[in-house]
Amino acid sequence: MANKKKDFDPDSELNQAYKNAQHVHFQGIDMDSFIYKNVCPTQAILSVLFNCTHEDLNLGATLTEFKEYSQKFHPKGVGLFDTQMKCVALSSHGPIRDVHNCFAKKQLAEFYSDDEKKEEYAFHFIVYIPFKGYLYELDGLKTVKNNKILLKILLSFFFKAPIDHGAFPEDNECLDVARPIVQQRIQKFIEDKTHFRLMVIVSEPGKKYERELKQILANSSLTDDERNAQKSNLSKLINEEKRKKAHRIANLRRQHNLAAASKQVIVLFLKQRKDDLLI
């Protein structure tokens, strides 16, 4: 008996994964996979920055150079090779690695036996970003789910792509699409008794106030009294943001451990003093 030819199912999981990967590649979204431990927060933040097109964002020379370099790995598709190579490049990038390491907990070196090892909590970061009219979920650990082992391996290798949560209207914010999705995830965390934190990357308020101030000064429909009143209010807000920024910098300087630097200064001073005495 001849085998019956199976009809093509356009809604199959494999086909949906393929369309999702091709759609994401067409959009040009930037995503990394997690193959190293303790890099999740850095990759999550960079996933937001590298896919953000807001006018207030300035990546700077270092991140711009890395973004352009990492986009050359796999230009013809979105797959595990592409995302893993980006993660390798990220972990090998000196300036980014130094900044990542500086956020490690500052403590004295401690040694424990296997029986005395302290329990550590595992943290994972998931990103939601608006990108070209669509809301995406970036999770470097998540692959397309399937109960069949071989198909799961195939999907996880070729289709490690962001999750498309649908489009949002141009005249509307992505928050209307993201809010119920995030609320559903939060509810699941609460039911599972999982601790979580919700963080948002936004523009500096100072830049927003300065942009509004320029618009007010250029608005000829306002009277002098209205313009002066709004200008005075925004100027106060701008000065307050500058004061907060100066306070944050001063607070960071007070918290920084200068013991190693002070020791090195003393060593160099004594060495110079010794050389002067010999002369």
Give me the active site residues, please. 40, 124
Alpha carbon distances (Å) from 191 to 124, 128, 139, 186, 187: 18, 22, 21, 9, 6
Tokens of 79: 């797959």
As a whole number of angstroms, the distance between CA 135 and CA 116 comes to 45
**DSSP-derived 3-state class of residue 275:** helix
Tokens of 163: 């999750």
Asked if residues 125 and 40 have their Cβ atoms less than 8 Å apart, the reply is yes
- Residue-level length of the chain: 279
Alpha carbon distances (Å) from 236 to 215, 223, 246: 17, 20, 15
In DSSP notation, 165-193 reads EEE--TTS-THHHHHHHHHHHHHHHHHTT
**The tokens 């948002």 sit on which residue?**
200
**Residue 129 is inside which H or E element, if any?**
strand 127-131
Task: Give 86's DSSP letter.
Answer: H
Beta bridge partners of 131: 134
| Burial class of 241 by CB neighbour count within 10 A (0 to 12, 13 to 18, 19+) | middle
Alpha carbon distances (Å) from 251 to 96, 99, 141: 23, 18, 36
